[in-house]
């Protein structure tokens, strides 16, 4: 069983299991109201980081797994390798799949209307 390691910077440790969430294939873009900017808050030793106003959730293990749901998402960053993650404007709404590489800037969800949620990742650090 591949369980993600979480590094508790200011984050709480959440239980996670393996699983695949059925996500539709659409990506976040400026047209969706997503600004993409690199921020100091995202710089870390995490391969994949989900940042909320009060926490930073870090994932380093390769694999495909459920990570939440984590609500109130501000930024999503890939700091090593690449990842596909599932996000939605609000919990319970249609999910979108987003591909992000280490060389890409962080996805900034601060200007997105709703309570942005991230709840699944396939990580390739």
CA dihedral (90, 110, 35, 123) positive or negative: negative
Answer whether residue 14 shows pLDDT above 90: no
Q: What is the pLDDT of residues 22-79, one digit of tens each?
A: 333 333 334 444 333 334 444 457 999 999 999 999 999 999 999 989 999 999 999 9
Task: Output the pTM of the full model.
Answer: 0.66
Question: Which one is the CATH code of 30-124: 2.60.20.30, 3.30.565.10, 3.40.630.30, 3.30.70.980?
Answer: 2.60.20.30
- Highest mean pLDDT out of 1-5, 33-37, 110-114: 110-114
CA distances (Å), 96 to each of 1, 66, 116, in order? Answer: 26, 15, 11
Q: Could you tell me which of 32, 54, 23, 51 has the C-alpha nearest to residue 122?
A: 23
């Amino acid at each position: 069983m591949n369980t993600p390691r979480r590094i508790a910077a200011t984050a709480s440790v959440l239980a996670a299991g393996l699983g695949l969430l059925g996500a539709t294939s659409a990506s976040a873009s400026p047209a969706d109201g997503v600004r993409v900017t690199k921020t100091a808050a995202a710089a870390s030793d995490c391969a994949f980081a989900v940042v909320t106003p009060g926490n930073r959730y870090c994932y380093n293990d390769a694999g495909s797994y459920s990570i939440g749901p984590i609500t109130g998402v501000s930024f999503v960053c890939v700091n090593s390798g690449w990842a596909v993650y599932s996000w939605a404007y609000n919990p319970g709404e249609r999910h979108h799949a987003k591909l992000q590489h280490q060389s890409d800037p962080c996805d900034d969800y601060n200007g997105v209307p709703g309570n942005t949620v991230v709840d699944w990742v396939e990580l390739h650090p």
